[in-house]
Chain A
Amino acid sequence: MNLIFFYLRKLFSIIKNEVLVLPSRVVAGIFFLALLLLPLFTEDPYLLRILTLTSIFAILAASWDLLSGFTGQMNFGHALFFGVGAYGAAMLNKYAGIPPWGTIPLGGLAAVMAGLIIGIPCLRLRGTYLALTTLAFPIILMGLVFAFPDFTGGELGISGIARLARSRVASYYIAVIVMLCLCTIMWKITDSNTGIIFHAIREDELAVRASGINTTRYKLLAFSLSGFFAGISGGLFAHFMRIAGPSTLEVSMSFQVVIWAIFGGIATIYGPIGAVFVLFPLMEILRFWQDYRILMFACIVLLILLYMPDGLFRWLRDKAEKECPRCKIRNVAMRHTCRICTAALD
């Protein structure tokens, strides 16, 4: 009994001293709770559908950030991973009859293979060369999809695959919980030793190599990790929409991911996720002005970038929090002294 009270007290003090002191942590906590508790208050199918899709795309945007934001390997063809995941899951389900809980991870593995296949030639390229080359891969795959319509369904895609879950609420929970878990994992990866090496590769690859780190291996690791997460989101998408079509491989899909990630702020993980949760529902709201929808979307992105070129969520976080100059711990912007070392904040 005492032990339970001890842990409860410990939890309470962690929440009080570590979570509630920083607005970003509070917001993250509220975000988790709100997503998990939402179906208790409303079962509006439209809202649930939007949030399910938003969660699926949040995984995709975060996985782009892991590869391109952290490791600096600018990938303009992220739709490849998404498409391979979606098509892989759909084919396994349709032709082999494997249920969704099996096809989605297998689709993710197929995307890892794709990541390795494109990663190996791309390792020798950097910067803009890499970005422009990766753009080509989904288009090549799309050409193949159109050229073999018997197997891939051609323009119509593979339809009639199994539902993600029986009810909408269950689908919602699957997507949201998978999203929260995978994004936490990605955030943990970027926080770990590996993540620090990823960071360093983006900043100065030569210096990393000079420190005796095999950068090739780490870049391939980044490609396959990012491919895995993107493939899972592709599989979820295929099973949720019950169709895997060529739209998953389109150039606009690749561009969309880049827009989400950079809009939210790269190399943060939370930035792209937040950006998807802002921009994707925004697109739905703009449906009221159907004709002007994409135009307004483009204008909003342009205007926000003019004032926050580092990304929306980085800007917000910098406004709300300050870093202590002495101990590098973050504080609420309202404080005048650091909460740990009491140094003056400027």
Chain B
Amino acid sequence: MALLVDIVMSGLISGSVFALLAIGFSLIFGVARIVNIAHTAFYMVAAYCIYFATHKLGLHPLWSMVAAIILVTLLGIISYKLFINPIREHHGAVLIATIALAMAFQEVMGLIFTGSYLSVPKLIKGYHVILGVKVFYQQLLTFGAALLILGGLWLLLMRTKLGLAVRSTAQDREVANLMGINEARVAMMTMGLSVGLAAFTGAVVVPLTVLEPHMWMHPLIMMMAVVVLGGLGSLKGSFLGAYILGFAEAMVVFLAPMGAFLKGSVALSIMILVLLIRPEGLFGVSFEEER
């Protein structure tokens, strides 16, 4: 039973993290057709910003989280304006521009904070014992905050004018442009939104993990797997896919021998199996061939 609680907690946490990351990633892909490899690098930068604010400046963790989210969103918009927007028509170039950005962030963070493992204090302390397993309040808080922000995002996309603009640009860029939507501005705002989501993910997850400059690699791979599994551009799919892969990972870690090594392999194999049956992912609409 204790094992079950462990699996459920760990699956819920990593599922929420993957869901937040994957939705941000598929937003900017849907609107601007940008495969943003640097997405999880922004998540790493946000985590380091929080470390800096709490340990070096002595701010309260909550304020440092807010500051980190704002700063990283600005950073995302600036790097979009400087490096991605000028070459947006060249898909290959955008791709390696984002890879190079991610590498640059990783190196800068490594230079400032060294490569050693760091940690951030929990926002709320204490734990509750369920069936002999310590469930930290921080874990519940992370899970709750993730659900809350996902709900907020859904409202933003479905109920506001900006959301309508984002969805219509994702459906058809040219027609959206003809209808008077400023496509370039929508793309920039979506970039801000998506990076903001990544930063938020970094903020809620940072008390539970260790910081190191390579911490963006594993989430990146899982995030891409989630996006493909759920179907590109489908928020519902990303949400469900994230929890499927999160739980798969947790189960492998806790149940299989050598689980820590195999967790990525098993999750990715699930993705490939699903793709064999449904090439467009669980909820993806098979795109009309873009010619």
Contacts and interface: CB of A to CB of B under 8 A. Distances in A.
Interface of A: 121, 124-125, 127-129, 131-133, 135-137, 139-144, 146-147, 204-206, 251, 255, 258-259, 262-263, 266, 291-292, 294-295, 297-299, 301-302, 305-306, 309-310
B99 A132 contact: no
A183 to B, nearest CB: 20
B221 A139 contact: yes
Chief secondary structure at chain A's binding surface: helix
B101 interface: yes
Given A143-B264, A204-B291, A294 B107 contact: yes
A266 B96 CA distance: 12
Given A128-B232, A139-B268, A146 B261 contact: yes
A294 B103 contact: yes
Which of B108, B265, B269, B280 counts the most chain A CB atoms within 10 A? B265
Interface in B222-263: 224-225, 227-228, 232, 258, 261-263
B144 interface: no
B268 A136 contact: yes
Interface residues of B, number: 49
B137 to A, nearest CB: 33
B12 interface: no
Given A121-B275, A121-B276, A262-B93, A298 B107 contact: yes
Given A147-B262, A305-B93, A309-B90, 10 more contacts: A121-B276, A125-B279, A258-B99, A259-B100, A292-B111, A297-B103, A298-B107, A302-B101, A305-B97, A306-B86
B255 to A, nearest CB: 14
B70 interface: no
A247 to B, nearest CB: 13
Contacts of B63: none
Contacts of A124: 275, 279
Nearest to B107: A295
Interface string B100-122: 11011011100100000000000
B107 A301 contact: no
Contacts of B90: 309-310
Interface in B169-197: none
A141 B262 CA distance: 10
Contacts of B203: none
A298 B265 CA distance: 29
Nearest to A294: B107
B265 A128 contact: no
B2 interface: no
Given A121-B276, A135-B221, A301 B232 contact: no
Contacts of B37: 255
B71 interface: no
B242 to A, nearest CB: 14
A309 B93 contact: yes
Nearest to B225: A136
B92 interface: yes
Contacts of A266: 92
B107 A292 contact: yes
Contacts of A205: 289
Contact of A136 (B217, B221, B258): B221
